[in-house]
Amino acid sequence: MPEGPIAFVTPRYGPDVVGGSEAVSREAAHGLAARGWEVEVLTTPARDHYTWAPAYPLGVSEHDGVVVRRFELVNEQGRYPGQPDRGQLEQRIADGLRLDEGQEQAWVNGLFRVPDLYHHLVRDRHRYRAVVFSPYLFWTTLVGVPAVGERAIVMPCLHDEGYARLDIVGRVLRGAGRAWYLAGPERDLAESLGCAPPAGDLTGAGVDVPESYPPSRLLAEHGIERPFLLYAGRREEGKGWPVLLDAFAEAVRRGADLDLVTMGVGPVVPPLGLEDRVHDLGFVSDEDAPSLFAAAAAYVQPSANESFSRTVMEAWLAGTPVLANGASAVVRWHCERSGAGIVWTGVEELTAAIELVAAAPEAVAAIAPAGREYVLEHYTWPTVLDHMERSLEAMCAG
């Protein structure tokens, strides 16, 4: 394969973009650039995945040695007469119903398209040594991978969900040259579903290690004085946010003297009567977030759909115990390997875990140091970039 840049293709890119796969793509791109690789990012002007509205200027820019190319995003709602709208297709997928080829194509194209990005990949595919696509379920990956074929590396961030069983997903992922998996259960899932590319590497994802954890200024600014649980990420049903709210409300009703602090995106509607116990900090900078992780009595990961769970790693680095949804094979895998998490399933078990944090905080905190050791051994960026470089070198040599 000829010399040339490595490209990362992601539907959203930027330091203020909230999303696990987007963060991994951005930091991997900059990490490889710092090691001397020529790196480009191919993306759109969107910042959030709710509106997909343009937030960044189109065109080419450079950020810390990485060339960023932003292509116009075209909203495709209503483009397919005679087909159900995308909301109906989403429901069919969630219900486990099979879609025909036309319906799958309508689903892929029904949220947005990026035609100029596709044309760029077709025109310039021989210029790139490899093109890394993430995550798996957007147009940018499902249309982009076939444009470059064996030069494609998919970092799928695969979950055990209906989307992963679509014929088009299996066909596209199998057609990539290689996969970068963030955790062992993700690789196992891809292989069991028959959507694994011919080669794959367990690269993991990297987490920055803060130099220190000073007291959080945000707690004082928001008047947060009680011990608190922390949740960071998207506040939506697919991430388990309603389950966390229900369990927290029940634990407080039973006497747990804790607050709930959340940072991220999405609406926050506290349970009735607990408006002063649920604190939404919104988007929190990378500089301020570590202090919040360190100050929390426990971090809660309520999502069943995780391919890595960066926030769990950030909590463990900060010396904070984790309450993890056992329905996520990946998070359960991390907890079992590290011994640093309390695994729960369902609202009642999460309620009991929250009560335990309130009643015996020191005993719960005692499991956290093993988590920090686990992250430092497996998931610092130098280690992960070593894996990625070996994979790129093997692919380019082939």
Q: How many CB atoms sit inside 10 A of residue 161's CB?
A: 14
pTM of the model: 0.86
Of residues 188, 207, 195, the one with CA closest to residue 329: 188
Q: 109-146, pLDDT tens digit by residue?
A: 988 999 999 999 999 999 999 999 999 999 999 999 99
Question: What phi and psi values does residue 240 have, to the nearest 5 degrees?
Answer: 80, 10
84 in a structural domain: no
Question: What span, in angstroms and rounded, lies between the C-alpha atoms of 357 and 330?
Answer: 23
Q: Please report where in the chains the tokens 């006497």 appear, as a residue.
A: 255
163 in a structural domain: yes
Q: Please report where in the chains the tokens 């000073």 appear, as a residue.
A: 214
pLDDT value, residue 82: 61
23 with 142, same domain: the answer is: yes
199 with 314, same domain: the answer is: no
Q: How many CA atoms lie within 13 Å of 7's alpha carbon, on the beta-carbon side?
A: 27
Inter-residue contact 263 to 292 (CB < 8 Å) = yes
Q: Which domain holds residue 25?
A: 6-76+111-206+380-397
Low-confidence ranges of the chain (pLDDT < 50): 1-2
The torsion of the CA quartet 42, 47, 52, 58, rounded to 10 degrees, works out to -50
pLDDT value, residue 20: 80
Question: What span, in angstroms and rounded, lies between the C-alpha atoms of 272 and 378?
Answer: 42
pLDDT value, residue 377: 97
Q: How many CB atoms sit inside 10 A of residue 177's CB?
A: 20
276 with 295, same domain: the answer is: yes
The torsion of the CA quartet 151, 157, 161, 167, rounded to 10 degrees, works out to 0
95 in a structural domain: no
17 in a structural domain: yes
pLDDT value, residue 77: 62
47 in a structural domain: yes
Inter-residue contact 368 to 340 (CB < 8 Å) = yes
Q: Which two tokens stand for residue 380?
A: 């610092």
Question: What span, in angstroms and rounded, lies between the C-alpha atoms of 355 and 73?
Answer: 46
21 with 137, same domain: the answer is: yes
According to DSSP, residue 356 is labeled H
pLDDT value, residue 2: 42
262 with 345, same domain: the answer is: yes
Q: Please report where in the chains the tokens 């002063």 appear, as a residue.
A: 276
Inter-residue contact 174 to 197 (CB < 8 Å) = yes
SS3 265: strand
Question: What span, in angstroms and rounded, lies between the C-alpha atoms of 63 and 204?
Answer: 24
37 with 126, same domain: the answer is: yes
123 in a structural domain: yes
51 with 142, same domain: the answer is: yes
pLDDT value, residue 1: 35
1 in a structural domain: no
Q: Please report where in the chains the tokens 């292509």 appear, as a residue.
A: 71
234 with 351, same domain: the answer is: yes
192 with 234, same domain: the answer is: no
28 in a structural domain: yes
248 with 301, same domain: the answer is: yes
Question: What span, in angstroms and rounded, lies between the C-alpha atoms of 314 and 374?
Answer: 11
pLDDT value, residue 398: 61
Q: Please report where in the chains the tokens 């875990």 appear, as a residue.
A: 353
What domain count does the chain have? 2
CATH number, domain containing residue 178: 3.40.50.2000
128 with 56, same domain: the answer is: yes
230 with 363, same domain: the answer is: yes
